[in-house]
Amino acid sequence: MSTERQGNRAERGDDAELRAEQSFVTHLYTLLDARRAAEDNAVRTSLSQVTTGQQARLERDVAVTEHGLTAAALDAVDSGLCFGRLDFRDGTSRHIGRIGIREENAERTPVLIDWRAPVARPFYLATGHTPMGLRRRRHLTTEGRAVTALHDEILDLGDERRTGHEDPNGDAVLLAALGAARTGRMADIVQTIQAEQDRIIRAPHQGVFVVEGGPGTGKTAVALHRAAYLLYAHREQLARRAVLVVGPNPAFLGYIGEVLPSLGETGVWLATLGELFPGVQARGADTARAAEVKGRPEMAEALARAVADRQAVPDEVLEIDHDDYGTLHLDRATATEARERARAAGLPHNLARPHFAFRIIDALTAQLTDRLGADPYGGPNLLDASDVAQLAKEIAASPEVHAAIGSLWPQLTPEEFLTGYLADPTHLPEGEAAAIRREGGEWTPADVPLLDEAAELLGEDDSAARAAAEAERQERIAYAQGVLEVAYASRTYEFEDKDDEDSEVLGAHDVIDAERMAERHEEADHRTAAERAAADRTWAFGHIIVDEAQELSAMAWRLLMRRSPTRSMTLVGDPAQTAEGGGLGDWGAILDPYVPGRWEYTRLGVNYRTPEEIMAVAGALLRAEDPGFTPPSSVRSTGRRPWSRRTTPEGLPAAVAEAARADAPEEGRLAVIAPASLHEALAARLDVTAGGEPDLTRPVVLLTPRQAKGLEFDAVLVVEPAAVPTSDLYVALTRATRTLGLLHTGDLPAALADPGTVETR
């Protein structure tokens, strides 16, 4: 029976099954509304509390944040709250939903099972062969709060009972989801997760797990559902350490940004690589060559040597004018020895600097002692130990001495160091140095791993931050001291007339001292773990998920591995989609330096996005270079072949605009994917703005092939495909869920010119 007919029947309200589900779902929403009202109430009550004291204020803020987050999570799961039902052979049934909901009774009976709970697993895994105790699996389709259709799969073939909602192939809901109009925002797949995907989503979280799959195989969807699952299964641990999802660019993060909230999870940090150095916004752009050079593993060595170069010794004797003692001399041999001793400490540059300074001050003190205390008759030095100590103090306090030390071994921030390095790159072959040389300018995403590397080599220059933190700590201690004094005074007063010394012995001072009390205040930092993680370069995440992982450079991996000392990571990607000059080639090259032989690998083989007709063309493109290449198999076919049209260079913008009008879906989104050089001319015709971050929710979106990575649209027009490198073209060709058109002025790549697969218009 078609979904439409079921819908009509539902409207007539003559279907007992539908009516029963509707009344159950209505009850669920009543419970959800009650929970939400309770959270809103808790926020209001907390806000209206008149609080005195820092602790009480912090507690109130924490309460407001926590209840606010829960209320937001409850709002986000409203749509499609309940989407499934399991009928077991023993006669019991369970409804499955985005979150778990319990009855408001004393037993707190579960009425809706969270999709992540073990008991919900048969919803995703059970088959006629392995029914996992199920008699029937039901999918509920809802619009708002109305149940509009039911699809039942019979898993116990001996069971004769029928509901009139049977779905013979068991794929009607999946196909409806795959064929639905796109909105510019990725939707969750919680109702239709396939068995091969479920196994990845629920795999253990320790260790590194690589998920490879061709275009549209659901890698991104699986990665996000895995984040939600891991937070559910290991909430304590992961919520505290936070989960990081790394995506290729801000538009992509916007595209996937609604999936986790719709699963009730708001505490995951989605970031691009360019956002992973706190305080730096990487808004600049590199040439492809510069980005490639900056990503090479040799950069680590080049930077380490450049940092060592900042530990200089004078070519000739350095003269240092001391206000009181005249000129001091620092010769090359003394400075070299000080440098060697400081380096031997094995510390990062900024942390080894005091060792260097100490040696220099020591040497200058010895020099001054010799000069001032020399016995004209050749006897022993006339200065005693306390005179020498006084001289050392005066030398250490001299700004000129500090300036001299600073000129040889400067205190450096990563930003200062890298700015200097990029202006004059050293320890690289000249061609590479020329590719990255830059005076000032904005930070780029490829600079971020270099900044991180520099921060490691330099050691945190956190003296200012530490001084500020210490001042703050002292303030808290002073405050806590005051609180304790008041408490102690009142306690003493309380027991005053009882003449009971023991009671006083148990006064507040003995239970907690001011320092510990201050620490407790500190612990009440009410930022979420994700917020704290975003502000802390040295944060160790509980789990890291990397999407489009094939693109990351060796230097980017160094940064990410530092953020995951426990190596709890999920990496999803497709080597065939690696941009030219990007990535490291294969997973072993990425991972073996960090977890040699200790990573798991799995493949997804079904393409849920791209129809068969489009995939045939995209596959042929790669097969032309690699005859053994096998693309993922498409789950759908539309019967519509991709088309191509040749036009003149002058006529190209008009032809694209006309095709965009003709192919624009009634509902949904169309993307024009074209080389950047054509964007200005095309933007004027398409009524979109060129440059900047694209707005993916508009009906027509103009993108470069690189920007299209990871995204999808109902209809796609690829302009001048011959001008796009093969792997980028493969990405561009595989973005459509329905139609693909090619517009070109010269010859098409041979694989796209086959009349058997591409219709010429």
Ligand X SMILES: Nc1ncnc2c1ncn2[C@@H]1O[C@H](COP(=O)(O)OP(=O)(O)OP(=O)(O)O)[C@@H](O)[C@H]1O
Q: Write out the binding residues for ATP.
A: 213-220
Contact call for residues 479 and 518 (beta carbons, < 8 A): yes
Of 522 and 586, which CB lies nearer to ligand X in the complex structure? 586
Task: Fill in the per-residue mask, 117 to 156: x = in contact with ligand X (CB under 6 A), - = not in contact.
Answer: ----------------------------------------
Q: Give the three-class secondary structure for 497.
A: coil
Phi-psi region of 641 (alpha: psi -120 to 50; beta: other; left: phi over 0): beta
CB 368 within 8 Å of CB 325: yes
- Rounded to a whole number of angstroms, the minimum distance from the CB of residue 709 to ligand X is 7
**Closest separation between CB of residue 220 and ligand X, Å?**
3
CB 281 within 8 A of CB 320: no
Taking CA 422 as the corner, what is the angle to CA 419 and CA 425, rounded to the nearest 5 degrees? 135
Nearer to ligand X, 178 or 686 (CB): 178
| Stretch 374-413: interaction string toward ligand X, x if CB under 6 A | ----------------------------------------
Residues 563-582 interacting with ligand X (rule: CB under 6 A): 574, 577
With CB under 6 A as the contact rule, the residue among 139, 359, 476, 609 that binds ligand X is 609
Rounded to whole angstroms, the Cα distance separating 523 from 412 reads 31
Applying CB under 6 A, which of residues 6, 142, 194, 398 lies at the interface with ligand X? 194
Using the rule CB under 6 A, which residue among 218, 295, 542, 705 binds ligand X?
218
Sites for ligand X among residues 409-468 (CB under 6 A): none
CB within 8 A of 589, min separation 6: which ones?
none
- Identify the residue among 6, 142, 217, 634 touching ligand X (CB under 6 A): 217
Does residue 131 contact residue 51 with C-beta atoms inside 8 Å?
A: no
- Which among 170-178, 436-444, 474-482, 682-690 is the span making contact with ligand X, rule CB under 6 A? 170-178
Q: Taking contact as CB under 6 A, which single stretch among the options 5-13, 187-195, 326-334, 486-494 is the one that binds ligand X? A: 187-195
User: Residues marked as binding?
Assistant: 213-220
Nearest CB to ligand X, comparing residues 141 and 217 = 217
338 vs 546 by CB, closer to ligand X? 546
- Residue 187 or 233 with smaller CB distance to ligand X: 187
Q: Is the Cβ of residue 97 or residue 425 nearer to ligand X in the bound state?
A: 97
The Cα 516–Cα 477 span in angstroms is 8
Nearer to ligand X, 281 or 630 (CB): 630
Binding flag, residue 70, ligand X (CB under 6 A): no
Asked if residue 221 binds ligand X (CB under 6 A), the reply is yes
732 binds ligand X per the rule CB under 6 A: no
Q: What is the dihedral of CA 606, 610, 615, 618, to 10 degrees?
A: -110
What's the closest the beta carbon of residue 139 comes to ligand X, in angstroms? 11
Interface with ligand X, residue 197, by CB under 6 A: yes
The amino acid sitting at 448 is V
Token representation of residue 642: 């991709």
Stretch that binds ligand X, among 43-51, 185-193, 329-337, 639-647 (CB under 6 A): 185-193
| Residue nearer to ligand X on the CB measure, 63 or 187 | 187
Q: How many CB atoms lie within 10 A of CB 366?
A: 15
Which span sits near ligand X by CB under 6 A: 188-196, 504-512, 579-587, 697-705? Answer: 188-196
Minimal distance, residue 219 CB to ligand X, in Å: 3
Among 142, 220, 350, 564, binds ligand X (CB under 6 A): 220
Specify the stretch interacting with ligand X by CB under 6 A; choose among 77-85, 215-223, 352-360, 675-683: 215-223
Q: Which residues of 466-495 are buried (b: 16+ CB within 10 A; e: fewer)?
A: eeeeeeeeeebbebbbebbeebeeebeeeb
DSSP 8-class letter at 746: S
Q: Rule CB under 6 A: is residue 32 a binding residue for ligand X?
A: no
* Residues near 731 by beta carbon (within 8 Å), at least 6 away in sequence: 215, 577, 705, 708, 709
| Minimum distance, C-beta of residue 601 to ligand X, in the bound complex (Å) | 16
State in angstroms the smallest separation of the CB of 264 from ligand X. 18
Pairing of strands 643-646, 318-322: unpaired
Provide the b/e sequence for 722-748 (b: ≥16 CB within 10 Å): eebebbbbbbbbbbbbbbbbbbbbeeb
The answer to whether 212 touches 587, Cβ cutoff 8 Å, is: yes
Indicate whether 178 belongs to the interface with ligand X (CB under 6 A): yes
d(C-alpha 192, C-alpha 175), whole Å: 10
Nearest distance from C-beta of residue 125 to ligand X, angstroms:
13
- The correct pick among 116, 139, 205, 219 for binding ligand X (CB under 6 A) is 219
Residues in contact with ligand X, counted by CB under 6 A, come to a total of 24
* Residue 72 Cβ vs ligand X, minimum distance, rounded to whole Å: 23
CB 225 within 8 A of CB 572: no
* 467 three-state secondary structure: helix
In the complex, the smallest distance separating the C-beta of residue 62 from ligand X, rounded to whole angstroms, is 36
Residues 685 to 724 in contact with ligand X, rule: CB under 6 A: 710, 712
Q: Quickly tell me which residue has 């917020």 as its tokens.
A: 531
Q: What is the DSSP code string of 71-138?
A: HHHHHHT-TT-EEEEEEETTS-EEEEESS-EE-SSTT--EEEEETTSGGGTHHHH--SSS-TTEEEEE
Of the candidate residues 63, 177, 203, 239, the single one contacting ligand X (CB under 6 A): 177
Nearest Cα neighbor of 553 from 199, 192, 291, 244 is 291
Q: What phi, psi does 5 have (nearest 5°)? A: -65, -40
- DSSP label of 417: H
Sole window of 189-197, 349-357, 420-428, 506-514 interacting with ligand X (rule: CB under 6 A): 189-197
Query: Per CB under 6 A, does 175 bind ligand X?
Result: no
Q: Which amino acid is at 27?
A: H
CA distance 731 to 301: 34
Minimum gap (Å) between residue 272 Cβ and ligand X: 15
Q: Which is nearer to ligand X, 414 or 710 (CB)?
A: 710
Q: Which two tokens stand for residue 438?
A: 């830059």
Shortest distance (Å) from residue 162 CB to ligand X: 26
Is residue 401 classed as helix, strand or coil in its secondary structure?
Answer: helix
Backbone angles phi, psi at 538, to 5 degrees: -100, 15
131, 184, 215, 642: which one binds ligand X (CB under 6 A): 215
Closer of 306 and 708 to ligand X (Cβ): 708
Backbone phi and psi for residue 426, each to the nearest 5 degrees, phi listed first: -120, 170
CB of 295 to ligand X, least distance (A): 21
d(CA 711, CA 256): 9
Count Cβ atoms below 10 Å from residue 569 Cβ, excluding itself.
27
Q: 180 or 397: whose CB is closer to ligand X?
A: 180
> Which residues touch 227 (CB under 8 Å, ≥6 apart)?
243, 245, 260, 265, 268, 543, 545
Q: Smallest gap, in angstroms, from Cβ of residue 647 to ligand X?
A: 28
Would you state the structure tokens that stand for residue 176, as one six-digit string?
A: 């409806």
Spatial distance between the Cα atoms of 603 and 154, rounded to a whole number of angstroms? 29
Nearest residue to ligand X, using CB? 218
| Residue 367 or 550 having the CB closest to ligand X | 550
CB of 196 to ligand X, least distance (A): 9
Counting runs of H as helices and runs of E as strands, what totals does the chain give?
A: 30, 22
Cα–Cα distance measured from residue 583 to residue 701, given in angstroms and rounded to the nearest whole number: 27
Between 188 and 663, CB nearer to ligand X? 188
Q: Which is nearer to ligand X, 97 or 653 (CB)?
A: 97
Binding site for ligand X (CB under 6 A): 174, 177-178, 187, 189, 192-194, 197, 213, 215-221, 574, 577, 608-609, 710, 712, 734
